[in-house]
């Protein structure tokens, strides 16, 4: 069990029927030195993550567990913001969409033509209609050429034009 406290740090404990409160806490906190509240924990691919404004940390399990900072919100946040909260792992879904499928192409480049997606590398956003689809199965950023397939998949999970397609794919199956 993990508890994110402000002042003491991230504390870990295990169930122990003989301990007070049936929890035995580690003597030392695992992560200290942050100045804001821990807002959310989530497990993803076997690792534990915590968000503490303005960062996300990942726990490196082991004899001497430690936490590494893996992400920092780059923009300055307003004072009342608590940073990232409501942390949750979502299944990777790139297998759901076959970008060579004509229906998929039709939704992508007709319906979503004006929808924007971000490119992490350029730190900029682009309309889906600007992405060239010359090469089958590839969705390169129009400026830097980075493959944006995953970003497009993420878009398809929230865009209303994909609702029917998403429904048709239930339960999640892999397009071949
Ligand atoms: Zn869209
Ligand atoms: Zn780019």
Tell me the pLDDT tens digit for each residue of 116-126: 999 999 999 99
174 pLDDT band (50/70/90 cuts)? Answer: very low
C-alpha 97 to ligand 1 mean position (Å): 14
Ligand having the closest approach to the CA of 166: 1
- The total number of residues shown for the chain amounts to 176
Instruction: Quote the mean pLDDT of the chain.
Output: 86
Tens-place pLDDT, residues 58-105: 999 998 999 999 999 888 888 888 888 888 887 665 556 788 788 888
C-alpha 20 to ligand 2 mean position (Å): 55
Q: What is the pTM of this model?
A: 0.56
C-alpha 137 to ligand 1 mean position (Å): 18
C-alpha 83 to ligand 2 mean position (Å): 25
Residue 26 and residue 100: Cα distance in Å, rounded?
53
Residue 137 and residue 148: Cα distance in Å, rounded?
11
Beta strands in the chain (DSSP E): 2-5, 9-15, 23-25, 38-44, 47-52, 55-60, 66-72, 116-119, 124-127
C-alpha 150 to ligand 2 mean position (Å): 13
Residue 149 and residue 141: Cα distance in Å, rounded?
9
C-alpha 126 to ligand 2 mean position (Å): 9
Domain boundaries, the chain: 2-72, 94-168
Please give the pLDDT value at position 170. Answer: 53
Residue 4 and residue 34: Cα distance in Å, rounded?
11
- What's phi and psi for 39, nearest 5 deg? -100, -25
Ligand having the closest approach to the CA of 127: 1
Please give the pLDDT value at position 172. Answer: 47
Please give the pLDDT value at position 10. Answer: 95
Residue 65 and residue 4: Cα distance in Å, rounded?
15
């Amino acid at each position: 069990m993990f508890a994110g406290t402000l002042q003491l740090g991230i504390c870990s404990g295990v169930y122990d029927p003989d301990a007070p409160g049936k929890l035995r806490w580690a003597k030392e906190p695992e992560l200290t030195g942050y100045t804001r509240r821990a807002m959310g924990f989530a497990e993803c691919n076997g690792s534990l993550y915590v968000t503490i404004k303005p960062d996300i940390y990942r726990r490196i399990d082991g004899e001497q567990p430690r936490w590494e900072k893996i992400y920092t919100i780059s923009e300055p946040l307003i004072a009342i913001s608590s940073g990232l909260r409501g942390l949750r792992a979502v299944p990777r879904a790139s297998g759901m969409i076959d970008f060579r499928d004509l229906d998929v192409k039709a939704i992508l480049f007709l319906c979503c033509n004006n929808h924007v997606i971000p490119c992490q590398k350029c730190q900029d956003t682009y309309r889906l209609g600007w992405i060239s689809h010359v090469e089958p199965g590839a969705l390169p950023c129009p400026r830097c050429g980075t493959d944006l397939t995953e970003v497009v998949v993420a878009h398809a999970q929230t865009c209303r034009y994909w609702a029917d397609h998403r429904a048709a794919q239930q339960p999640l199956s892999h397009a071949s």
